[in-house]
Amino acid sequence: MYSFKNDYSEGAHPRILDALIESNFEQIEGYGEDCYTQKAVELLKQRIGRNDIDIHLLSGGTQTNLIAISAFLRPHEAVISANTGHVLGHETGAIEATGHKIISIEVSDGKLNDSHIKIALDSHTDEHMVKPKLVYISNPTEIGSIYNKIELEQISRFCRENNLFLFMDGARLGSALCSEENDLELSDLGTMVDAFYIGGTKNGALMGEALVICNDLLKKDFRFHMKQKGALLAKGRLLGIQFLELFRDNLYFELAKHANKMAGLLRDELEKAGFRFLVNSPSNQIFPILPDRLINKLQNNYSFYVWSKVDADNSVVRLVTSWATKEDAVLAFIEDMKNP
Amino acid sequence: MYSFKNDYSEGAHPRILDALIESNFEQIEGYGEDCYTQKAVELLKQRIGRNDIDIHLLSGGTQTNLIAISAFLRPHEAVISANTGHVLGHETGAIEATGHKIISIEVSDGKLNDSHIKIALDSHTDEHMVKPKLVYISNPTEIGSIYNKIELEQISRFCRENNLFLFMDGARLGSALCSEENDLELSDLGTMVDAFYIGGTKNGALMGEALVICNDLLKKDFRFHMKQKGALLAKGRLLGIQFLELFRDNLYFELAKHANKMAGLLRDELEKAGFRFLVNSPSNQIFPILPDRLINKLQNNYSFYVWSKVDADNSVVRLVTSWATKEDAVLAFIEDMKNP
Amino acid sequence: MYSFKNDYSEGAHPRILDALIESNFEQIEGYGEDCYTQKAVELLKQRIGRNDIDIHLLSGGTQTNLIAISAFLRPHEAVISANTGHVLGHETGAIEATGHKIISIEVSDGKLNDSHIKIALDSHTDEHMVKPKLVYISNPTEIGSIYNKIELEQISRFCRENNLFLFMDGARLGSALCSEENDLELSDLGTMVDAFYIGGTKNGALMGEALVICNDLLKKDFRFHMKQKGALLAKGRLLGIQFLELFRDNLYFELAKHANKMAGLLRDELEKAGFRFLVNSPSNQIFPILPDRLINKLQNNYSFYVWSKVDADNSVVRLVTSWATKEDAVLAFIEDMKNP
Amino acid sequence: MYSFKNDYSEGAHPRILDALIESNFEQIEGYGEDCYTQKAVELLKQRIGRNDIDIHLLSGGTQTNLIAISAFLRPHEAVISANTGHVLGHETGAIEATGHKIISIEVSDGKLNDSHIKIALDSHTDEHMVKPKLVYISNPTEIGSIYNKIELEQISRFCRENNLFLFMDGARLGSALCSEENDLELSDLGTMVDAFYIGGTKNGALMGEALVICNDLLKKDFRFHMKQKGALLAKGRLLGIQFLELFRDNLYFELAKHANKMAGLLRDELEKAGFRFLVNSPSNQIFPILPDRLINKLQNNYSFYVWSKVDADNSVVRLVTSWATKEDAVLAFIEDMKNP
């Protein structure tokens, strides 16, 4: 049984484990004030091309979303999100638990644009309603689609004109930036969004998200919020060492490219076989529409999520590849798909 | 420069890193539903001697405290803690951030007893005040003292008679249970407290606390609270593998014994040298009162916290040992202390 | 200029003011422990036909909703509401500010039924999502429609079968119960819902909502929640005296009947004049669809809300009547509507 | 039985009830946007002598405290309060329920000074602790003492130098400002504190506190917070009319003077009779130390709180007078005190 269920089924890239072993007995500072974390932060600043940004290392996506959003907003301010947003339906109300409403906007492909955001602004007009203040987007989105530069510029401009913060969930950012359809760079994010994060957990780390705060207004006292929400690890080295290893050279992007390449193999062959897809998702998640009979057969050898029913005989499935996905397994899946 | 600042200066015990490497490429379930976490939980149940308890693995002490306490209490219910309690002064208001007041009781040695708790009950009498509902104790306490069986039984009985939950912060529980003065066992905790945790971060793990919920009333839906507060790691294996390794044999207790032994060496020699201590702390933290001149000299070669001034010429310092503390370093410190 | 904007444009029914004056210099207990509040509570219990219910007097609808819901739910539990629900869009995120997500269900007429609720249950399946626990309905709904006995029984049964609390916002409950289409009685509510409130603010009181808690599970320590949220008035008499006066005889229902009668006059004549309505609303709010030209003319003499555009030339308007609406004003409006 | 238990035992001053009656049938705007509220706000600005302040009318002290403080602070910021502070022990954790810790400072007379505040600052030094940000004082304090101008200036200067907000709970502000020992004016408050409130509930109104926000940083979007916490009354006129009546002339101060005068009568005669007091309280609350035998006798005809035991035979009692206290009752009490 081979799993295409998600991109966190395996442990970490071996270089990360090696780095942990090598540094293991050094006595260093706790709570993220160690030399490894500092070096990782410096490296990331170079990659993003700005020195005037703050970077904090956290353990997971939900944790990063809830701490960032609750730190950025005043009590009456709300989040705008596409209806597919991870914060809306898959984080057990983590944002609401910090006191903030999320305004859901229906979209077809996981992506928000300025006219979507305008709907939220226009329908929240006075103090009897929450005040929309932060736009939450994910890149790639939860259904694998990605934002291009023109789209992101448009949202960015609209947010600045309307005094909204723009926050990008980058749990799978590596996959977006390494997509063949991508024209964004890390440095673009540093200028276009107010805060974003670079996901490690789903790209080869044991855990870890690097939150980048670009807007000065959002920087102050951020470590207080991390501590208050239980996110300052005593052995912060665990995060620092991992990000240092991922960004010491191009490892982070190579891992993402591999994941994308594996997804691309699947996508191409499914297309050739005549199957349609829920959405264009040029990243490491694909959502082909398959006959239920085929799905059942494939499930004998492969695990993956059945996403939704399409009609009486067909369903959308989600196939996820990762830094660790074996090409042999992908080829075997393709073979089984063609000759079920 | 050798550090006695804390017990999280190094990485993890090598066996833990080995276990991570060995399991690294297995594809397993996410979010703590993997086989390693399940085995670790089963092992811990055996050690505690009860099958009817729930165990959840979390990343750190503040995270565990805030999730457990906010899950256990209704909005108007409050925590009772000794004034030294970690939740009171060293967690950036994490408990209050979940909406709950902590009632602080002045104690001299870090330990609560039933008459302390009664003070809190007697001064909270109606709906204009919070309702005391959960007693928070730490073992060892934040200043290294430990509870013996009779003391814990007394608190436990009082809490049950007064319909209070008893919660034990066990961030350094290994050190308490391996103290020469200890007469408690893991199985005693399983019957005397409503919930407690077994700290891994400060006893050889990269991170990790095993929360044990003994009282049926507190068990329901606990994983919802973990997810909502950002504590369900996608790669939950990282916690499961570590606790499995720590409790597969007696590693957890051996590590704690080593830490205590190193602290004992320091304590004995400081006593012999005529120094007094802030408090009797038979665990891995000691608080000798030293002349400031000696402190200054020692700081040339050792790092440690100066805890508080005692008088014009003397201060309390905190010396912490750990699973990784080297006996050579301890002996060198003793030598330098004797011949500054 | 006569206002049909809402049902809180005037002060209080004169009998209420008289009662305040009469009792004004009596020295009585504070915080709702006075004799008037106690008598009012007893009276309401009689009217509802149950002695085993708890009744608390609060100041307004948003306050009542947020205190009740946050008292009833654990942190990970969520509310299910029709998309028109007052808690969703017109309370500045008051429920989310207490930590709870509201799951919005699209409905056409403001009313939830069991299949709506089932949608929410079926899409919330594990600990990565909030747990739906409380169903929020309003009677009348925010667009004036009302529940009949069969509909309420169906929801009630479904909630009990699925371990959900059923909570009814009764800000305008008088108008619902006095509607010509109504077949529910106060005593039905006492058996069918877990908690509901009887709105005073919009039916002749200066302020005040009587929250009725029927389910034993929801009663404990409720006054703590009221105090914590700033809702225990020092001069609780102000609420007690008003509810006592409203329910000493049939004043409460007479006032609601008057409001409904005035709305009925408007409805009948608008129907006769050939206008359609947004929804069937047999209570004190009606939503006729009028030509924009007519709306403009009417706005010279009457104030009311223009609810939404229907097409290029027509809009829905909201006309609200109250205990204080003058029949002359209604007749004048009708005349002006017919002969603009 | 005559009550000296508190200053909210009676209803409202008759002029307030008259004003409610007179305006009763006017149709006016809801939610505090009515002409009466606007006039009241203008009047108060004149009295305070500043046009650049914001004023909001709320229903009670706890409500005002919790909304103001939670609106003013970011999540990790904390309140500093004297240990007698109302927010600390008599509001059911209302502040903590909004997520903020209160740092309690032991004082002897209910009053904070700059060295007290410095203790809190000096002991909160990094992100593992909350960040002290708002100083909460009450004038008069909860035990009747008052701040003079020099004391308030000193605190005010210290707060500005240390970037702290200064917030004054004025639930009984009338009594402070009308005390014989007072040298502060409303206009002083407008320049010395960042926000304060003028209590109506305990000085002749049915309910109502006028929150004055002087610091521009604290003004933005305040009505959102009021609505979110359930404090925007639909019939906001109820608050506007009352404050307009209280400040249309000197009624507010005349009522406070009467209360103080009645307390003064009691104080003088108790002093003459040789009794000591818990604290110097030149406002409408006094705390004489009386023999328990005398207390028991007086309790036959008068109700009041027994505050605390002093020794085996004596206790502190609290006697509160108000705008409605009858001089005859005071004289009778004095007589009974002298000839028990």
What phi-psi label fits residue B208: left (phi over 0), alpha (psi between -120 and 50 degrees) or beta? Answer: left
Q: Is the pLDDT of residue C155 over 90?
A: yes
Find the farthest-apart pair of alpha carbons in chain B and give their distance in angstroms, rounded: 61
CB contact under 8 A, A228 and B24: no
Whether residue D75 has a cis bond before it, omega within 30° of 0: no
Write out the residues of chain A at the interface with chain C, using a CB-CB cutoff of 8 A. Answer: 75-76, 78, 89-93, 96-101, 104, 127-130
Q: Is the pLDDT of residue B186 over 90?
A: yes
**Does residue C59 sit in the same domain as residue C98?**
yes
User: Quick one: pLDDT at residue A340?
Assistant: 86
CATH number of the domain bearing residue D215: 3.40.640.10
> Which of B75, B227, B228 has its CB closest to that of C70?
B75
User: Quick one: pLDDT at residue D264?
Assistant: 98
Instruction: Report how far residue B164's alpha carbon sits from residue B135's, in angstroms, rounded to the nearest whole number.
Output: 7
**Does residue C122 sit in the same domain as residue C146?**
yes
User: Cβ(A10)–Cβ(B26) under 8 Å?
Assistant: yes
Instruction: Report how far residue B322's alpha carbon sits from residue B204's, in angstroms, rounded to the nearest whole number.
Output: 8
User: Cβ(B173)–Cβ(B199) under 8 Å?
Assistant: yes
Size of interface A-B (CB pairs under 8 A): 153
> Which of B89, B91, B130 has its CB closest to that of D93?
B130
Residue B185 belongs to a domain:
yes
The CA angle D177-D183-D184, to the nearest 5 degrees, is: 55
Q: Is the pLDDT of residue C212 over 90?
A: yes
Residues of B in contact with D129 (CB under 8 A): 89-90, 92-93
**Interface mutation target, options B5, B92, B309, chain D, most CBs of D under 10 Å:** B92
D203 CA: distance to closest CA in chain B (Å): 21
Residues of A in contact with B27 (CB under 8 A): 2-3, 9-10
User: Quick one: pLDDT at residue C27?
Assistant: 98
In which element (H, E) is residue B173 found?
helix B173-177
Average pLDDT value for residue range A22-32 = 98
Share of chain A above pLDDT 70, in %: 100
Share of chain D above pLDDT 90, in %: 100
**Does residue D52 sit in the same domain as residue D195?**
yes
User: Cβ(A303)–Cβ(A1) under 8 Å?
Assistant: yes
Average pLDDT value for residue range C143-164 = 98
Residues of A in contact with D230 (CB under 8 A): none
CB contact under 8 A, C99 and A100: no
Average pLDDT value for residue range D99-107 = 97
Write out the residues of chain C at the interface with chain A, using a CB-CB cutoff of 8 A. Answer: 75-76, 78, 89-93, 96-101, 104, 127-130
Residue A7 belongs to a domain:
no
**Does residue D173 sit in the same domain as residue D287?**
no
User: Cβ(C283)–Cβ(C175) under 8 Å?
Assistant: yes
Signed CA dihedral, A214, A215, A218, A219: sign only: positive
Q: Is the pLDDT of residue D161 over 90?
A: yes
Write out the residues of chain B at the interface with chain D, using a CB-CB cutoff of 8 A. Answer: 75-76, 78, 89-93, 96-101, 104, 127-130
CB contact under 8 A, A96 and C100: yes
Instruction: Report how far residue C298's alpha carbon sits from residue C336's, in angstroms, rounded to the nearest whole number.
Output: 7
CB contact under 8 A, A228 and B11: no
Binned at pLDDT 50, 70 and 90, residue A242 comes out as very high
> Which of A23, A97, A201 has its CB closest to that of B11?
A23
> Which of A90, A97, A129 has its CB closest to that of C129?
A90
Residues of A in contact with D236 (CB under 8 A): none
Average pLDDT value for residue range B165-191 = 98
Averaged confidence pLDDT in chain B:
98
**Does residue A194 sit in the same domain as residue A279?**
no
Best CA proximity match to C85, nearest among C45, C117, C59, C55:
C117
Write out the residue range of the structural domain in which residue A47 sits: 14-250
Average pLDDT value for residue range A48-71 = 98
Nearest CA in chain B to D123: B89
Binned at pLDDT 50, 70 and 90, residue C261 comes out as very high
| Final residue of a structural domain among B251, B272, B298 | B251
Nearest CA in chain C to D302: C27
Residues of A in contact with D98 (CB under 8 A): 75
Whether residue D14 has a cis bond before it, omega within 30° of 0: no
**Does residue D116 sit in the same domain as residue D149?**
yes
CB environment C252-263: b (16+ within 10 A), e (fewer): bbbbbbbbbbbb
User: Quick one: pLDDT at residue B259?
Assistant: 98
The two three-digit tokens of residue B309, written as one number: 């001034």
Binned at pLDDT 50, 70 and 90, residue D45 comes out as very high
CB contact under 8 A, B228 and C75: yes
**Does residue D298 sit in the same domain as residue D222?**
no
**Burial class of residue D39 in the structure, from the number of CB atoms within 10 Å of its CB (0-12 exposed, 13-18 middle, 19+ buried):** middle
C-alpha count within 13 angstroms, C-beta hemisphere, residue A312: 0
Averaged confidence pLDDT in chain C:
98
CB contact under 8 A, B128 and C71: no
Find the farthest-apart pair of alpha carbons in chain A and give their distance in angstroms, rounded: 61
User: Quick one: pLDDT at residue D340?
Assistant: 86
**Interface mutation target, options A27, A328, A333, chain B, most CBs of B under 10 Å:** A27
Nearest CA in chain D to B88: D129
Q: Is the pLDDT of residue B212 over 90?
A: yes
Nearest CA in chain B to C131: B224
> Which of B31, B71, B127 has its CB closest to that of C224?
B127
Binned at pLDDT 50, 70 and 90, residue C119 comes out as very high
User: Quick one: pLDDT at residue C340?
Assistant: 86
CB contact under 8 A, A25 and B11: yes
Nearest CA in chain D to C6: D30
* Number of independent structural domains in chain B: 2
**Does residue D277 sit in the same domain as residue D288?**
yes
Q: Is the pLDDT of residue A310 over 90?
A: yes
Binned at pLDDT 50, 70 and 90, residue A254 comes out as very high
Q: Is the pLDDT of residue C180 over 90?
A: yes
A291 CA: distance to closest CA in chain C (Å): 23
**Does residue B117 sit in the same domain as residue B168?**
yes
Best CA proximity match to A198, nearest among A47, A33, A36, A19:
A47
**Does residue A142 sit in the same domain as residue A260?**
no
Q: Is the pLDDT of residue B172 over 90?
A: yes
**Interface mutation target, options C86, C92, C98, C126, chain A, most CBs of A under 10 Å:** C92
In which element (H, E) is residue C335 found?
helix C327-338
pLDDT in tens, C125-153: 999 999 999 999 999 999 999 999 999 99
Residues of D in contact with B92 (CB under 8 A): 76, 127-130
Residues 6+ apart with CB under 8 A from B221: C74, C76, C127, C131
**Does residue C259 sit in the same domain as residue C240?**
no
| Final residue of a structural domain among A230, A250, A270 | A250
> Which of C3, C11, C60 has its CB closest to that of D20?
C11
Nearest CA in chain A to B225: A92
Signed CA dihedral, B16, B17, B23, B24: sign only: positive
Signed CA dihedral, D236, D238, D242, D248: sign only: positive
Helices and strands in chain B: count of H runs, count of E runs: 14, 13
Cα separation values, D68 from B248, D41, D248, Å? 54, 17, 26
Average pLDDT value for residue range A110-115 = 98
Average pLDDT value for residue range C10-38 = 98
Binned at pLDDT 50, 70 and 90, residue C35 comes out as very high
CB contact under 8 A, A76 and D131: no
In which element (H, E) is residue C305 found?
strand C305-309
> Which of D89, D91, D100 has its CB closest to that of B96?
D100
B283 CA: distance to closest CA in chain A (Å): 20
CB contact under 8 A, B9 and A27: yes
Please state whether the predicted TM-score (pTM) of the whole model is above 0.95: yes
pLDDT in tens, C85-107: 999 999 999 999 999 999 999 99
pLDDT in tens, C293-336: 999 999 999 999 999 999 999 999 999 999 999 999 999 999 99
Q: Is the pLDDT of residue A59 over 90?
A: yes
3-state secondary structure chain D: CEECCCCCCCCCCHHHHHHHHHCCCCCCCCCCCCHHHHHHHHHHHHHHCCCCCEEEEECCHHHHHHHHHHHHCCCCEEEEEECCCHHHHCCCCHHHHCCCCEEEECCCCCCCCHHHHHHHHHCCCCCCCCEEEEEEEECCCCCCCCCCHHHHHHHHHHHHHCCCEEEEECCCHHHHHCCCCCCCCHHHHHHHCCEEEEECHHHCCCCCEEEEECCHHHCCCHHHHHHHCCCCCCCCHHHHHHHHHHHHCCHHHHHHHHHHHHHHHHHHHHHHCCCCECCCCCCCEECEEEEHHHHHHHCCCEECEEEEECCCCEEEEEEECCCCCCHHHHHHHHHHHHCC
CATH number of the domain bearing residue C325: 3.90.1150.10
In which element (H, E) is residue C81 found?
strand C77-82
DSSP 3-state of A215: coil
Residue B323 belongs to a domain:
yes
pLDDT in tens, A192-209: 999 999 999 999 999 999
**Does residue B260 sit in the same domain as residue B244?**
no
* Chains touching C by CB (3 or more pairs below 8 Å): A, B, D
User: Cβ(B81)–Cβ(B75) under 8 Å?
Assistant: no
By residue count, chain D amounts to 340
> Phi and psi of C82, rounded to 5°?
-60, 150
Average pLDDT value for residue range A228-242 = 98
Binned at pLDDT 50, 70 and 90, residue A162 comes out as very high
Best CA proximity match to A235, nearest among A9, A14, A24:
A24
Q: Is the pLDDT of residue D97 over 90?
A: yes
Residues of C in contact with D64 (CB under 8 A): 230
pLDDT in tens, A283-299: 999 999 999 999 999 99
Tokens 């916490």 -> residue: D229
User: Quick one: pLDDT at residue D255?
Assistant: 98
| Final residue of a structural domain among A199, A219, A250 | A250
What letter does residue B288 receive in the DSSP assignment? B
CB contact under 8 A, C74 and B71: yes
User: Quick one: pLDDT at residue C56?
Assistant: 98
> Which of D75, D131, D223 has its CB closest to that of A127?
D223
Size of interface A-D (CB pairs under 8 A): 50
pLDDT in tens, D273-325: 999 999 999 999 999 999 999 999 999 999 999 999 999 999 999 999 999 99
**Interface mutation target, options D76, D92, D95, D104, chain B, most CBs of B under 10 Å:** D92
